[in-house]
Amino acid sequence: MSNLKGYYYLYVVFILAIAMNHTAMAREPSSRAVKGAYWPSYAGFPASAIDTSLFTHLYYAFLVPNNVSLWFEISNSTALTLWNFTSTVSGKSPPAKTLVAIGGAGADPDTFSQMASKKSWRESFIDSSIEVARKYGFDGIDLDWEFPQNSTDMENLGHLLDEWRAAVRKEANATCRSPLLLTAAVYFSVEFFLSAVVRTYPVDSINRNLDWVNAMTYDYHGSWDTTATGTLAGLFDPLRNLSTSYGLRSWIDAGLHPTKLIMGLPLYGRTWQLKDPSVNGIGAPAVGVGPGTEGVLTFSQVEAFNKANNATVVYDVDTVSTYSYSGTSWITYDDANSTTVKIAYVKTLEVRGYFFWAVNDDLDWKIPRVASRTWIL
* Residue 27 confidence (pLDDT) above 60: no
* Residue 3 confidence (pLDDT) above 90: no
Helices of type H across 136-213? 151-175, 203-209
Quote the CA–CA distance of 258 and 244 in Å, as a whole number.
Answer: 14
Mean pLDDT of 87-96: 98
Residue 17 has what pLDDT?
A: 42
Instruction: Give tens-digit pLDDT for 311-351.
Output: 999 999 999 999 999 999 999 999 999 999 999 999 999 99
Mind giving me the DSSP string for 236-300?
Answer: --SSSS-SHHHHHHHHHHTT--GGGEEEEEESEEEEEEESSTT--STT-BEEE--SSBTTEEEHH
- At 377, the pLDDT band (50, 70, 90 cuts) reads confident
Beta-carbon count within 10 A of 30 CB: 9
Higher pLDDT, residue 12 or 160: 160
Quote the CA–CA distance of 119 and 17 in Å, as a whole number.
Answer: 54
Mean pLDDT of 245-267: 99
Pairing status of strand 268-274 against strand 181-187: unpaired
Instruction: Give tens-digit pLDDT for 144-201.
Output: 999 999 999 999 999 999 999 999 999 999 999 999 999 999 999 999 999 999 999 9
Four-way CATH pick for 3-23+31-267+336-376: 3.40.50.880, 3.40.630.30, 2.40.50.100, 3.20.20.80: 3.20.20.80
* Residue 8 confidence (pLDDT) above 70: no
Q: What is the mean pLDDT of the chain?
A: 94
> Which residues partner with 331 through β-bridges?
271, 324
Least confident piece of the model among 1-5, 16-20, 61-65, 162-166: 16-20
* Residue 107 confidence (pLDDT) above 90: yes
pTM assigned to the model: 0.93
Quote the CA–CA distance of 228 and 284 in Å, as a whole number.
Answer: 5
Q: Is 243 left (phi over 0), alpha (psi -120 to 50) or beta?
A: beta
- At 286, the pLDDT band (50, 70, 90 cuts) reads very high
Quote the CA–CA distance of 165 and 296 in Å, as a whole number.
Answer: 37
* Residue 13 confidence (pLDDT) above 90: no
- At 32, the pLDDT band (50, 70, 90 cuts) reads confident
Quote the CA–CA distance of 359 and 376 in Å, as a whole number.
Answer: 20
Residue 18 has what pLDDT?
A: 37
Mean pLDDT of 17-39: 57
- Give the active site residues: 146
